[in-house]
Amino acid sequence: MIDRKSILLRKLEPDDLPQLYLWENDAEVWLDGNTHNPLSEADLRDYILRTTGDIYQDGQLRLMICVPQSREGQTTAGEPVGCIDLYDVDIRNRKAAVAIYVAKEWRNQGVGTEALKKLKLYVANILCFRLLYAMVRETNLNSQKLFQSVGFQNVACLPKWVNEGNIFVLQTIL
């Protein structure tokens, strides 16, 4: 398991392009993210350069999940092991949707749990939002378990919301 203090969430950097390209084009998770086509490096480069990292200006926020590394007595942001997104941001009602991707080799090690915990603190204490929610396919039991482990509750089922079946709406009040 990953030590909570070891997970960092940081803004996108241009150097993240190769990793994002691999993750965004992981067809195994497209159904969970509503993706239906590959993205080019140019698409992702433009996104990285265009985003300000300001949720109020961009209307969304993507953060990289990193495991810090120590070199010569200094800690660096280290290796990106996933990303976490706030989207469908509703400033008036102080809420947003959240989605998370953890690289295959880092799954089931506590990375997602700790990243979500840190995101919840940031959203509650810095952004002063009051609610987060996630839309999860009924068949994605691992994702449901992850969100529930950090206090999200299943509040609704959207029958036949996607071609593959039902979607559960999980939310947490901050």
The per-residue pLDDT string of the chain (174 residues; one tens digit each, 9 = 90 and over) reads: 555 468 899 999 999 999 998 888 887 776 677 667 778 889 899 999 999 989 999 999 999 999 877 666 666 667 899 999 999 999 999 999 999 999 999 999 999 999 999 999 999 999 999 999 999 999 999 999 999 999 999 999 999 998 889 999 999 999
From CA 123, how far away is CA 83, in angstroms rounded? 16
Neighbours of 122 (CB within 10 A): 15
| Sign, Cα dihedral of 154, 155, 159, 160 | negative
pLDDT at 75: 60
Amino acid at 159: P
Coil, helix or strand at residue 171: strand
pLDDT at 3: 56
Amino acid at 147: F
| Sign, Cα dihedral of 115, 119, 121, 126 | positive
pLDDT at 164: 85
pLDDT at 40: 87
